Structure 1
Amino acid sequence: MSLIAILDVAHPDLALTPTIRECPDATVRVVPHSTTDPETGLFFFLVESADETIETAFDDDHTVTDWTLVNDFGTTGIYQLQHGDETILLSPKVAELGGLMLRAESNDRGWTVRLHLPDREALATLWEYCEDEDITFELYRMFRQEEWVDGLSPELTDQQRAALVNAYEEGYFEEPRETSLEELADQLDISPTAVGGRIRRGTGKLVETTLLEE
């Protein structure tokens, strides 16, 4: 039996934090990648952004020493980034504890991560590491997982789930609507554009994983 933990981490020197804070409407996700080698400083990120200011932010980001656009899909791009020696990376510490970083997505201050850890002791050790490094550590959910699930996960991202649940509870899906994107944005402390994107992508994922047949 293993442990799944969902938490927020934030620090000015965490990878891409300056870019995330400079471009709050952009969504940045770490691309899971079996050949990533922390020793090289090379990592892959998927970026959803409506404009090209993200690349200007990369140039000004002290955690980024070099970047390359690998694939361009219009408003979404895959980037290969190299981090400097002073950049804080959480994934090597998680791996050292025998865990895996299953998902990492940007929020307004830093990163929301979903971790697969061997036990509570590993989580406590990670918390102590973050405290020693002055990394903000906010645990949202923690639950046991009985078995390893291989392959692609049909789950929503934590941000999409939060946006959809909040929208449902506030009556966004009622007719007529009982709330607006602007009001939801105030509650979630993000922009209306970001809320709308999370609701749209989350709804699409629900349709894809529950209604469509192969």
Structure 2
Amino acid sequence: MSTIAEVELPANEFALREALTSNLDAEFEVVRLAAHDSDRVMPYVRVSGTEASSMTETLEADPSVENVELLDDLGDELLYRMNWVENIRVIMHILLDEGGTVMEMHGRDDRWHLRILFPTRDALSATHEFCTDKGLTFSIKNIYDLKQSTGRGEFGLTENQYNALVTAVEHGYFDVPRDVTMSELAAELGVSQQALSERLRRGHKALIESALRVGDASFGSDY
């Protein structure tokens, strides 16, 4: 079964290391990523929180980057095309060796956050083993199977969050006025009110971040 993993990579082990660490107010979003051969990746990268002149100069000076091209300057948002040529062993392994797909990729400060679709759970395990063998960091924050019947994988919900939200909707918790109280809903799910509150809150956060693509979510909680 296809598996989605939320992972983090440290900036100092990946492409654009110098660009990220020298522009702490900038946020990088990879909007398209393709591996053309075994030693080069061509991404389209959206950058916000900086100016075109300074960012272009920074990118051109970054040793992991070649052929930087500014495609669009919208003032508060820049779109670049470039080649990544260094510190890309992890992404090459994911794309070429395991047949994975990078669904989302955001970089800021000292790390990258990725949402990756692997064709099997074994492909994810193989990637983790590859990084361990190479002395690279591959921090898995959350893993979930892609179940089309529920759709929770698409939005980064844990099973507990998904069940809490669906049960709340089915019992009218979000209706105005409400048809069920928090206490009654918690009893239905067999959990405490505090646990239910946490699941609903974190489930809402995951849905909003996925739908609106804001921030860099961490999906490490069991709730």
TM-score class, shorter-chain normalisation, is: 0.5 to 0.7
TM-superposed CA distance for 1:133, in Å, is 2.5
Matches within 5 A, 1:186-201: none
| Higher-helix-fraction structure | 2
- Determine if contact 1:50/1:75 at 8 Å carries over to the other structure: yes
Superposed CA offset, 1:147-173 (max 9, x none): 399xxx7x59xxxxxxxxxxxxxxxxx
Deviation at 1:43, TM superposition (A): 2.1
Structure having greater relative contact order (Cα 8 Å, sep ≥ 6): 1
Structure 2 gaps of 5+ residues are 157-207, 214-223
Larger radius of gyration: 2
Name the residue aligned to 2:84: 83
**Are the aligned partners of 1:20 and 1:107 in contact in 2 as well (CA < 8 Å)?**
yes
Residue identity opposite 1:65 in structure 2: E
C-alpha RMSD of matched pairs (Å): 3.0
SS of match in other structure, 1:56? helix
State the partner residue of 1:97.
98
Q: Tell me by how many angstroms 1:15 deviates.
A: 1.4
Alpha-carbon distance, 1:37 to partner: 4.0
Deviation of 1:89 after TM superposition, in Å, equals: 4.7
Classify the secondary structure of the residue corresponding to 1:91. helix
Change (3 A) 1:23 1:142: same
**2:49 corresponds to which residue?**
49
Change (3 A) 1:32 1:148: farther
Does structure 1 retain, via aligned residues, the 8 Å contact 2:10–2:110?
yes
Q: Distance in 2 between matches of 1:11 and 1:135?
A: 11
Return the offset for 1:127: 0.8
Aligned to 1:205: 212
Q: Provide the TM-score with structure 1 as the length reference.
A: 0.63
Distance 1:42 1:98 in 2: 17
Amino acid at match of 1:12: N
Q: What is residue 32 of structure 1 aligned with on the other side?
A: 32
Partner amino acid, structure 2, of 1:93: H
Deviations 1:76-99 (A, max 9, x none): 011011233x33253331122122
Counterparts of 1:138 and 1:100 in 2: how far apart (Å)? Answer: 17
Q: CA deviation at 1:11?
A: 5.3
> Which residue is 2:136 aligned to?
135
Rounded to whole Å, the distance in 2 between the matches of 1:65 and 1:21 is 18
Q: Tell me: CA distance 1:16–1:89, structure 2 relative to 1, closer, same or farther (3 Å).
A: farther
> Percent same amino acid at aligned positions?
21
How high is the TM-score relative to the length of structure 2?
0.60
State the partner residue of 1:58: 59
Q: Matches of 1:27 and 1:89 in 2, distance apart?
A: 22
